[in-house]
Amino acid sequence: MSELQQMERILWFDQQIRAERLPNARTMAEQFEISTKTAQRTINFIRDRLHAPLEYDPQQRGFYYREADFVLSVVRFNEEDILVLLLARKLLSSSIGGAVSMAVKGLEHSLAKALEGRCLTIQRIEEGFSALWHGHRPAQAQTFRLVSSALLETRSLCFAYHTAAMKKCVERTVQPHHLQHYMGSWLLIAWCELREGWRKFYLCRMDDVRILDTTFVPRPRQEWGHHVEGAFGIYQGKETCEVRLLFSPFMSRYIEEQVWHPEQITTPRPDGQLELSFPVADFREVFWKILQCGSHVRVLEPLELQEQVRDEIRLMNGIYGN
């Protein structure tokens, strides 16, 4: 028996039950022109291997689910698949208000059954792994669901949006193209009708999110790809420049373990210092990263960034100098 034929019978049987037609081995045999013994083996597989709560009604001579909310899982999970799925739930749930946790919750019955008799358990994963985000901007679960649905269905999205600098909300109508998870926060890359261009929107700053009936044709990645990749950090752009930083011997031990950018170049020096270079499209994020390292880093290039750091040090000296 081929797996494809088996899958077809399983899905048909599940659909018949949900339509309250009470299927049995005879009706399955007639539908697929197989013997009743073969049909009964498929039903046994659904009950014993897929853990379906099948109940037989002797009066109507057919099967039904004794648990109305049961969801048939025809996907065969191995232990590694389940670990990855539950870890994704653990790592992402805090950044979108529990949306991932709620989605996976519906699978937990099937997953728990699949884990029976194994060392791995859902409780062990809960106790053995955790994720901590610092300074991230969590999004509301409902906002994430609406934005992701609009993106997948290629439908326009409308919402009230505010920035950190301007608390007043401005209504935006956009064409969503890409959701990006960055440092614990979710951002939407979309074509904004108000600005007539590509913009990034933090989901945490969206209010009154609505999916519109209007659909759109997704634009090619070449138009918006530079907003999600290429330069250092969250601030992207078509034009980039190289930033060169020199770290002290003390800080170098930590920096050499880190990845600031996929295309970074690290150059150790004989005196223990470490030079790090990578492309940057906007100085804002790397500027704050440099300040975090204090006196253990020096900007070699570009001079514009070097001057920005120098100006900030002057301002700080005005606060702490005396």
- 174 within some domain: yes
Q: Which helix (H) or strand (E) holds 230?
A: none
- 71 within some domain: no
User: Which pLDDT belongs to residue 100?
Assistant: 61
Confidence of residue 94 (pLDDT cuts 50, 70, 90): low
Token duo for residue 63: 């099967």
Residue 95 confidence (pLDDT) above 70: no
User: Which pLDDT belongs to residue 1?
Assistant: 45
Q: What is the pLDDT of residues 205-240, one digit of tens each?
A: 999 999 999 999 999 999 998 888 888 888 888 889
Average pLDDT over residues 269-287: 95
Q: Which range of residues forms the domain containing residue 251?
A: 241-320
Distance CA 220, CA 156 (A): 17
Q: Exposed, middle or buried by CB within 10 Å (0-12, 13-18, 19+), for 13?
A: buried
Residue 83 confidence (pLDDT) above 80: no
Q: What is the pLDDT of residues 53-82, one digit of tens each?
A: 999 999 999 999 988 778 776 555 566 666
For 274-312, b/e burial (b = at least 16 CB within 10 A) is: bbbbbbbbbbebbbeebeeeeebbbbbeeeebbebbeee
Name the range with the highest mean pLDDT among 66-80, 91-105, 281-295: 281-295
| Number of domains, the chain | 4
- 24 within some domain: yes
User: Which pLDDT belongs to residue 117?
Assistant: 64
Indicate which CATH number applies to the domain containing 196.
2.30.30
User: Which pLDDT belongs to residue 128?
Assistant: 76
Q: What is the pLDDT of residues 141-177, one digit of tens each?
A: 889 889 988 999 999 999 999 887 777 889 999 999 9
Distance CA 247, CA 245 (A): 7
Q: Are residues 177 and 151 in the same domain?
A: yes
Token duo for residue 183: 């440092």
Average pLDDT over residues 297-313: 96
Interior CA angle at 235 toward 233 and 237, to 5°?
A: 115
- 21 within some domain: yes
List residues bridging with 185 in a β-sheet: 182
User: Which pLDDT belongs to residue 15?
Assistant: 87
User: 257, 311 in Cβ contact below 8 A?
Assistant: no
Distance CA 42, CA 9 (A): 7
Indicate which CATH number applies to the domain containing 33.
1.10.10
Q: Are residues 218 and 149 in the same domain?
A: yes
Phi, psi (deg, nearest 5) at residue 315: -65, -40
3-state secondary structure of 299: strand
